[in-house]
Homo-oligomer: A and B are copies of this chain.
Amino acid sequence: MILVADNLHIMNPNVAKALKEKNPLPLQKIAERCKEANVYAMDINLGPLKRNTEGVITFVIEAVQDIFGGRLLLDSVQPEVLKAGIAACKRPPIINGFSLEEAKMSFILPLAAEYQTEIIGFLINEKGQVPITAEGRLEVASRLLAKAEECGIPLERVIIDPVLVPLTWQDGTRYNHEFLEVIHLLPQLCEKPIRTIAGLSNLGASSPDRAARATVEATFIHMFAALKLDYILMDITHKKALNALNLSQLLLGNKVFAWEEVKSG
């Protein structure tokens, strides 16, 4: 599983403060930490921008990209933010993302085609809903991929996100159980392999209990490893989840196993 960080997010108070004060240092600190943690890509989510949208995204990308050195996910629903972001990126960014919703189809998917970027496809239907069953989500996946192809974007440039939901949602455990089933069944949908991603932070967004949230995140990481999920988008300050990621790589990797390398807890 390839590690993607969601720490550069507007809900992170350090990010909000950095934007307000136009101070690149807190952003660069996040970028350094991502580099140290061997993160493959950083997701940049600044929320809906109202003023100087292009200036803000450019400022953030320029602040972090050289220090981090990896790839960036441009996480926005604003086409003008994505466009300016693509222009500012030195390495090919990944657009995060599109779905069957009209605005995404009309304004975001075409950007991925025009700039030949990779793009994340959420299994969300025209009404903005995640179907509860795996069958329903696979049907959305099938239509998403067809739309991407019509637009000139091949399967190889799409990464499917079947959408983890907060566990406390009505039927939250059912939704997430079906998420696993989607990962299990997706290879049967396409002739070529299709990559997958999960946003781990969604699980416990509302959790009052940090230890419980950490345990749940670690558990899902192991389940995803078993199902060969390709990318995990997560908070890299969550040590227990990172340990779980390393452990799954140790247990399923090609290195000679040594008990001394197992970190407990």
Contacts and interface: CB of A to CB of B under 8 A. Distances in A.
Interface of A: 167-168, 172-174, 176-177, 180, 184, 204, 207-209, 211-216, 219-220, 222-227, 244, 247-248, 250-255, 257, 259-260, 262-265
Contact of A167 (B204, B226, B251): B251
Nearest to A174: B254
Contact of A244 (B214, B219, B227): B219
What is the total number of copies of this protein in its complex? 2
Contacts of A184: 184, 227
Given A173-B253, A174-B254, A265-B265, 19 more contacts: A167-B251, A168-B259, A173-B252, A176-B252, A177-B251, A177-B252, A184-B184, A184-B227, A207-B259, A209-B260, A209-B262, A215-B247, A215-B265, A219-B248, A219-B251, A220-B251, A222-B222, A222-B223, A224-B226
A257 B172 contact: yes
Contacts of A223: 222-223, 225-226, 248
10 contacts: A172-B257, A173-B251, A173-B253, A173-B257, A176-B251, A209-B259, A212-B259, A216-B247, A222-B223, A224-B226
Nearest to A183: B226
A184 B220 CA distance: 17
Nearest to A167: B257
A247 B222 contact: no
